[in-house]
A and B are shown apart, each in its own frame.
Chain A
Amino acid sequence: MKKNVWPLYEVFIRSKNGLSHKHAGSIHAADADMAIENARDVYTRRQEGVSLWVVLSSEIIASNPEESDELFDPATDKIYRHPTFYDLPEELNHM
Chain B
Amino acid sequence: MEKDNLIKYVTYLADNNLILGHRLSEWCGHGPVLEQDIALANIALDLIGQSRMYYQYAAELTGGDTTEDTLAYLRVEREYLNILLAERPNGDFGVTMARQFIYDSYHFYFLQELVKSTDTRLSQIAEKSIKEVAYHKRYSSEWLIRLGDGTEESHRRMQAGIDELWKYADEPLIPATWETPLIQQGIAPNPATIKHQIDSFRSSSMHAATLSFPKDVVAQSGGKNGMHTEYLGHLLTELQYVQRAYPGLEW
Taking Cβ atoms with an 8 Å cutoff, the residues of A that contact B are 6, 27-30, 33-34, 37-38, 41-42, 45
**Cβ of B142 < 8 Å from any Cβ of A?**
yes
Contact among B35, B138, B146 for A38, CB-based, below 8 A: B35
> Do A38 and B39 form a contact, CB below 8 Å, given A6-B33, A28-B33?
yes
Given the known A-B contacts A41-B42, A45-B42, are A30 and B35 also in contact in the complex, defined by CB atoms under 8 Å?
A: no
Chain B residues within CB distance 8 Å of chain A: 33-36, 38-39, 42, 138-139, 142, 146
A-B contact count (CB 8 A): 27
Q: Is the CB of A29 within 8 A of B42?
A: no
Given A30-B146, A45-B42, decide whether A37 and B33 contact each other with a Cβ distance below 8 A.
no
| Most chain B CB within a 10 A radius of its CB, from A27, A37, A41, A42 | A41
Task: Specify the main secondary structure of chain B where it touches its partner.
Answer: helix
Taken together as a complex, chains A and B put the C-alpha atoms of A6 and B34 apart, in Å, by 12
What would be 25 A-B contacts, judged by CB atoms less than 8 Å apart?
Answer: A6-B33, A27-B34, A27-B35, A28-B33, A28-B34, A28-B35, A30-B146, A33-B142, A34-B142, A34-B146, A37-B39, A37-B138, A37-B139, A37-B142, A38-B35, A38-B36, A38-B39, A41-B35, A41-B38, A41-B39, A42-B34, A42-B35, A42-B38, A45-B38, A45-B42
